[in-house]
A = this chain, B = another copy of it.
Amino acid sequence: MTNMIDEIKDQIIEYLPEKVKLAKVEFEGPEIVIYTKNPEINKDHGDIIRALAKKIRKRIIIRSDKSVLSPPPETIDKVEEIVPTDADITDISFDDVTHEVIIESRKPGLVIGKYGTTSREILKQTGWTPKILRTPPINSETIQRIRLSLKRNSKERKEFLQKLGKRIRREPMFDNDWVRLTSLGGFREVGRSCLFLQTPNSKVILDCGVNVAGIDEKTAYPFLNVPEFNLQDLDAVIITHAHLDHTGFVPYLYHYGYDGPTYCTTPTRDMMTLLQQDHLDISHREDKPLPFNIKDVKETINKTITLDYGQVTDISPDIRLTLHDAGHIVGSAMAHLNIGDGKHNFLYTGDFKNEQSRLLGTPKQHFARIESMVMESTYGGREDNTPTRNTAEKELVKAIYDTIQKGGKILIPVFAVGRAQEIMIVLEEFINRGILGKVPVYLDGMIWEATAIHTAHPEFLSNELQKQIFHAGENPFTSDVFNKVTNNEQRRKLLESNEPCVILSTSGMLTGGNSVEYFKELCEDEKNRIIFVGYQSEGSLGRRIQKGFDEVPLEKDGVTQLFHINIEVTTIDGFSGHSDRKQLMEYVRKLSPKPDKILVCHGDAYKALDLASSIYRTYKIETKTPLNLETTRLQ
Q: How many residues of chain A have a CB within 8 Å of chain B? A: 23
Most buried by B among A230, A629, A631: A631
In Å, the complex CA distance between A627 and B182 comes to 14
What sequence of 0s and 1s flags, for each residue 166-202 of chain A, a beta carbon within 8 Å of any chain B beta carbon?
0000000001011010100000000000000010100
Contact A630–B627 (Cβ < 8 Å) = no
B contact residues around A628 at 8 Å (CB): 633
Contact B629–A629 (Cβ < 8 Å) = no
Known: A198-B227, A227-B227, A228-B226. A630 touches B632 (CB 8 A): yes
Tell whether A114 is near chain B: CB-to-CB under 8 Å: no
Mostly helix, strand, loop or mixed at chain A's interface? loop
Copies assembled: 2
B contact residues around A19 at 8 Å (CB): none
Contact B218–A177 (Cβ < 8 Å) = yes
Tell whether A203 is near chain B: CB-to-CB under 8 Å: yes
Expressed in whole angstroms, the minimum distance between the Cβ of A625 and any Cβ of chain B is 12
Tell whether A47 is near chain B: CB-to-CB under 8 Å: no
What sequence of 0s and 1s flags, for each residue 344-374 of chain A, a beta carbon within 8 Å of any chain B beta carbon?
0000000000000000000000000000000
Closest to A187 in B: B633
Tell whether A233 is near chain B: CB-to-CB under 8 Å: yes
Contact of A631 among B178, B233, B629 (CB under 8 A): B629
In Å, the complex CA distance between A60 and B182 comes to 43
Q: Which of A292-318 contact B (CB under 8 A)?
A: none
Expressed in whole angstroms, the minimum distance between the Cβ of A501 and any Cβ of chain B is 50
In Å, the complex CA distance between A233 and B228 comes to 12
Contact B227–A178 (Cβ < 8 Å) = no
Closest to A182 in B: B631
Binding site for B on A (CB under 8 A): 175, 177-178, 180, 182, 198, 200, 203, 218, 225-230, 233, 627-633
List, sorted by A's number, 25 A–B pairs whose CB atoms are closer than 8 Å: A175-B218, A177-B218, A178-B629, A180-B629, A180-B630, A182-B631, A198-B227, A200-B225, A203-B227, A226-B228, A227-B227, A227-B228, A227-B229, A227-B230, A227-B233, A228-B228, A627-B633, A628-B633, A629-B631, A629-B633, A630-B630, A630-B631, A630-B632, A630-B633, A631-B631
